[in-house]
Chain A
């Protein structure tokens, strides 16, 4: 070893005076790349707590937790994602699958701390330095989408093919279409609380996806014994809160329900639902009215073994579903498919029997352990403007009932409908069809107080009515039906400026200067229906309590203050079919409890 070898290593000391090429610690100001996948950000306002982020996370790094100040409401679970960075691998699938695009990753990636628990936080709720950071990973705009936001379109009859007859418009999904549509569901279940019957929607959609139709069918009947009907004419409020609806088309929940019911033959209903043998009980329940609420209660009571008898004033069962809703929306054979099962379970039904006239309430009270009254809203309300007493002024509910009963109804050259709800659309489109059959052309005008944007009818009803050549001219208040020499000439209207006051109360304001005249030979009023409760004797009426709005007061099981008497359906809640079904189900549970308690005493 020479001296050189000993001295050489010390020459490295000369580097002490050179500028270092490495970066100084701590790392300051080293931003991530523009699309770097760093810590999460979440827009708490647009997040709906659907949990797609948590479901897709393979590392189980995301959990949904309640957050103070965020309320659970329709369409929002009130939960928000909490991210555990001890498990996160920054794959960003949570961002890519987010149904509202609220979840993003900032490009911040450094965070030093000694407590592992601090690395769990709720983005957007627990304030973080990167909350306002613009840069970071966002779902790429083009050609990259984990969700399918486009609804599988439904085959429907063209306006030309349907406007002369009452054949059903909607064709229903094929197996492939139904499975593709079902595949769009992310199973968040936000829809369930919005459905009045709280149907197990994600579960029956999953059954379609797995092609286990029997299982799906059983699921439907757990909460809804009228699936063919609801699968066609439900107001489908569930679809308004569907998580997919935030960035695209909501799931076609209604058509999927119909798909399941359509696949099962009537003859197989009992077998699939395992209802071949029911253990009978001795107690008897009377049901007044065979509408959705009455039928639903009958189904669930019969399933429990009670002797159930329905009293129906009209010659056939179904209530407004048969005598209100036109055949092109709900064909009678499909209606009967649902109803027949309930009757085949041993439910007795006595037609053409009006309680209060043919049989008294007191008799029912005497002969039955409980009574469920679901008599609905059948009496058309009148505008009571001058001229409504003319013989060519009709009520929509009466005409729709006569159409179902195959009675001859007056079809005149110029028809005017007052009303903008679904019943108004039903009569408008029915009259358009009848005019087409009689005259080969349509001349129906429907007018309503509400402006185009706030028409109460379902949007598709309005669109389809127009496709069928009916004129919908909203935003007018009727003032007078003009009659000359005893002949109906038409309707005078004035512009309606607003319908509701600040508190949402009904208080229409008009502009008397802005008027119009709609010529007509007949006028049909369709501004709503009222209940006819004249069948309840005074002695019972005295026992009942009423709400501030004048409705009969019932508890959560639809039991009135006369304990033996339950009320449900449109007279209590709605009006629509699905509320009726839900009411009937809850009333059945209430009646069962009531009878069991009475037995014990």
Chain B
């Protein structure tokens, strides 16, 4: 695996490295380099299995993180590729021509995070959230509680006590 990582680093000018747990390596690189790297890994280094594509919303840094995970079944090695894209320009180059199932992942991420993948098949069709309007629900600014209260039957919170106040009432009620 070390040699593979060295070859990647040379060709793509990045710093791929091994990581915990065993058999998992990480590489982070620019948006534009992603498709060439996926293609290289699939066709040259035999990472033939595309496992998953996920996203993380780093609202603090104004960024989205995309993670692509590939497996080489002969070497029993995984490689995770991380791409950071700006939050205010949520668009990524599609990779569905390499593995067609990527189109489904991209469609889901487009729905859940509002990250678009232009030219990906059916990318703008609903995936799970038929008729969804407003902020995509996996974005961190989405207020789950507010949404639930507005959408579903409200169930008021069970009344409870605050430990501090309760202890004062019980143990030293007369003290100021």
Contacts and interface: CB of A to CB of B under 8 A. Distances in A.
Interface in B141-175: 144-145, 155, 157-164, 166-168, 170-172, 174-175
Contact of B171 (A60, A72, A79, A120): A72
Contacts of A78: 166-167, 170
Contacts of A65: 158, 160-161
A334 interface: no
Contacts, number: 75
A94 B58 CA distance: 24
Contacts of B161: 63-66, 79
B60 interface: no
B160 A198 contact: no
Contacts of A66: 161, 166
Contacts of A62: 160
A501 B4 CA distance: 75
Given A59-B145, A87-B157, A589-B176, A72 B167 contact: yes
A49 B163 contact: yes
Nearest to B148: A59
B144 A58 contact: yes
Nearest to A49: B163
A519 B158 CA distance: 69
A189 B167 contact: yes
A193 B161 CA distance: 16
Given A84-B155, A198-B175, A72 B162 contact: no
A54 B175 CA distance: 27
B163 A64 contact: yes
B39 to A, nearest CB: 35
A202 B165 CA distance: 13
B162 A192 contact: no
A63 B166 CA distance: 13
Contact of A188 (B157, B163, B174, B175): B163
A63 B160 contact: yes
A190 interface: yes
B163 A189 contact: yes
B145 A79 contact: no
A63 B175 contact: no
Given A65-B160, A87-B157, A77 B166 contact: yes
Contact of B163 (A50, A60, A73): A50
A198 B170 CA distance: 14
A116 B156 CA distance: 12
A193 B174 contact: no
A64 B162 contact: yes
A64 B171 contact: no
Interface string A111-132: 0000010001000000000000
A50 B167 CA distance: 11
Interface string A539-580: 000000000000000001000000000000000000000000
29 contacts: A49-B163, A54-B160, A59-B145, A62-B160, A63-B157, A64-B161, A72-B167, A72-B170, A74-B171, A78-B166, A78-B170, A79-B160, A79-B161, A79-B163, A79-B166, A84-B157, A86-B155, A120-B158, A189-B164, A189-B167, A190-B163, A192-B164, A192-B167, A193-B167, A193-B168, A193-B171, A202-B164, A586-B175, A589-B176
Interface of A: 49-51, 54, 58-60, 62-66, 72-74, 77-79, 82, 84, 86-87, 116, 120, 188-190, 192-193, 198, 202, 556, 586, 589
Task: Please provide the 7 A-B residue pairs with the shortest distance between their CB atoms, ordered closest to farther.
Answer: A63-B160, A189-B164, A77-B163, A72-B170, A63-B158, A193-B167, A60-B157
